[in-house]
Amino acid sequence: MAAIEDHGYMKVCAELASCLSISIAAARRKVERIASKNGDRGLVARIKIAETLLQDARSVPRTGAGSITAELDQLLEALDHEKNFMLED
């Protein structure tokens, strides 16, 4: 797949990447995956998908119980049976 170098598309993907704390390439792959699943081939459709994903990402609270950081903190906590786990050298 050839790279799409449209400025508007790259700007929306960059904003999406920043909002989700992922790379621009990962944001583009996310958009491309949804576009191919929907059968959308045009640039306009991909920009709309990226804008929709960006709106969804911005609607998630940054702080509090439902935030992305709270979910990451929960995933990084050790389980009770793994707290004292240690690898030997």
**Which residue in 82, 9, 89 sits closest to 42, CA to CA?**
9
Amino acid identity of residue 29, one-letter, is R
What does pTM read for this prediction?
0.67
Q: Answer whether 3's CB lies under 8 Å from 16's CB.
A: no
Boundaries of every domain in the chain: 7-78
As a dihedral over the C-alpha atoms of residue 23, residue 29, residue 31, residue 34, rounded to 10 degrees, the angle is: -140
Enumerate the H helices of the chain as residue ranges.
7-20, 24-38, 43-59, 68-76
pLDDT tens by residue, the chain, 89 residues: 446 578 999 999 999 999 888 899 999 999 999 999 999 889 999 999 999 999 998 887 666 666 667 777 788 887 777 777 777 75
